[in-house]
Amino acid sequence: MRHFTSVKEIGDLKTAIQEAFEIKANRYKYSHLGKNKTLMMVFFNSSLRTRLSTQKAALNLGMNVIVLDINQGAWKLETERGVIMDGDKPEHLLEAIPVMGCYCDVIGVRSFARFESKDDDYNETILNQFIKYSGRPVFSMEAATRHPLQSFADLITIEEHKTVERPKVVLTWAPHPKALPQAVPNSFAEWMNAADYDLVITHPKGYELAPEFTGNARIEYDQMKAFENADFIYAKNWAAYNGDNYGKILCTDRSWTVGTRQMSVTNNAYFMHCLPVRRNMIVSDDVIESPRSLVIPEAANREISATVVLKRILESL
C-alpha cells in the first residue's frame, strides 16, 4: 500500500482485521520494519488522539518521527495557486511540500474541511497536493472528507465487541455549537458499508450526507425509531452538506443528544464516539460513563489501526 486515504486502499477487510488482531497481540512484532525510516506528521489542525496514537504506532515499528504543526512555529502557508503573495503568508505549499518530502520517508497529513469551497473540500485539495508533490507515501490523519484511521479503529472495536455476525449499527447526528466537517460520519458510513453491517443513519432533515458515502444505508429521520434494537450507537455532529447550506448549522435541537431515553430502546447497545466529545451536547454523562461506552477502547485501537497502515506502507517502500 503506497497511500492511505480511504477504505479502498486497505483491501480485504477480514484480512485487515486479522492483521490488526495480530498486531494488538504483539504490537512490536514488526519493530525492524521502520529502522532508519522517518515519519513526518503534518498538522494543519489540532489533535490529541491522532497525534499520540500515530506517533506510538511509528515507534512500535521502529521509526523516527518528526511532527510539524503548520500553525505553530512554521511559516504560514499559501495554498492557492496564482495568488500574489503580498499578505501574511510567506511560503507556498507548492515549495513547502517537496521540501518536507526531502526530510522523511512517509508523510501523514491532517487537514480538515475549511467550508470555504465545497469543491476544494470534496476534491481533497490539500491532501492531494501532498500526494502529488511530496514524492513520498502519504496517509490521511483526517482530511476534508474522510478520517480512515478512525474508521478502521471503529471497525476493529466493533469486531471485538459484536455478538452477531451482522450487527445493527446506527450513526446518529447530535447537536454541537460549532459547524463540524462531515469527515468522520462520511468515513464511518463508508467503512460500515464495506463491512456489510446493517447500517442506519439518523439525523434531522437537511443533514443528508453525500450518497457516495452513505451507499445503501437506511436513512431514518426519527431518532427513536432508528435506535430500536440497535447493537451499536455511533454519535457524531456534522454540518449540512447539501447545496447552499454546505457547512451551516441547521438544527440545535437538544432532544437529539444521546441519553438513557434513546439507549433504552436499543439492544443494550454499545455507545461509540471518536472523541473529543462535548458532554451533554452530543451525549449525556450517564451514557458516556456507562459500562456500555466504548469511547476509550476506540481511542486505544487508534494505535492499532495506525500500526497496520504504517506497516503496510513500510512494506511497500
Binding site for ligand CP (CB under 6 A): 47-50, 142, 150, 274-276
Beta-bridged to residue 65, according to DSSP, are 39
Shortest spacing between CB 242 and ligand CP, in angstroms: 25
Pick 133 or 238: Cβ nearer ligand CP: 238
Shortest spacing between CB 83 and ligand CP, in angstroms: 29
Shortest spacing between CB 275 and ligand CP, in angstroms: 5
Pick 56 or 89: Cβ nearer ligand CP: 56
Would you tell me the crossing angle of helices 148-161 and 49-60 to the nearest 10 degrees?
80
Q: Residue 95 is placed in which grid cell? A: 515549495
Pick 211 or 276: Cβ nearer ligand CP: 276
Pick 52 or 74: Cβ nearer ligand CP: 52
Sign for the CA dihedral angle at 223, 155, 284, 253 comes to negative
Shortest spacing between CB 41 and ligand CP, in angstroms: 11
Pick 47 or 242: Cβ nearer ligand CP: 47
Shortest spacing between CB 243 and ligand CP, in angstroms: 28
Of 175, 43, 14, the residue nearest 107 (C-alpha): 43
In angstroms, the CA 271 to CA 279 distance is 13
Pick 138 or 272: Cβ nearer ligand CP: 272
Beta-bridged to residue 108, according to DSSP, are 41, 139
In angstroms, the CA 27 to CA 39 distance is 18
Reported as half-sphere exposure (CB side, CA atoms, 13 A), residue 95 has a value of: 8
Of 252, 317, 270, the residue nearest 1 (C-alpha): 317
Shortest spacing between CB 278 and ligand CP, in angstroms: 13
Q: Kindly report the backbone phi and psi dihedral angles of residue 308, in degrees, each rounded to the nearest multiple of 5, phi listed first.
A: -60, -45
Cβ proximity of 309 and 4 under 8 Å: yes
